[in-house]
Amino acid sequence: MYYLNKYQDQDKQLARFAKALGHPVRIMILRKLSTSSCCYSGDMCEELPIARSTLSQHLKELKESGLIKGEVTPPRIKYCINKENWAIAQKLINEFFLKEEL
């Protein structure tokens, strides 16, 4: 029981990150954002083979997971990788896959 209480929050956070990473379009978005400091959603829409509404839905999911952050500068929104949460995600994923007992 101690184990569950100790790691429950980390498990929830890992699940949020995994859900956000669970779609190929979101992976494409993250790859795009990882190669630049920030990017406007309109620019991404022109570069990625998806509709603007679909892009918005995926950006929303990534933002809710904490993997990216957005800054509103009307009429545009600038997105970038949330470096702090990205490091946490890397750590949690690595720890999960490096565990010997599953």
**What is the CATH number for 78?**
1.10.10.10
- Domain of 57 in residue numbering reads as 9-98
Given this model, what pLDDT does residue 101 score?
63
User: Residues 25-49: pLDDT tens digits?
Assistant: 999 999 999 998 889 988 898 888 8
**E-state strands within 1-102:** 39-40, 68-73, 76-81
Other Cβ atoms within 10 Å of 28 Cβ, number: 17
The dihedrals phi and psi of 73, each to the nearest 5 degrees, come to: -130, 85
Given this model, what pLDDT does residue 1 score?
47
Is 4 domain-assigned?
Answer: no
Is the peptide bond preceding residue 24 cis, with omega within 30 degrees of 0?
Answer: no
Q: How many domains does the chain have?
A: 1
Is 87 domain-assigned?
Answer: yes
What are the tokens at 69? Answer: 């952050």
- Provide block-wise average pLDDT over 10 residues at a time, the chain (102 residues): 65 94 95 90 88 94 96 90 96 87 59
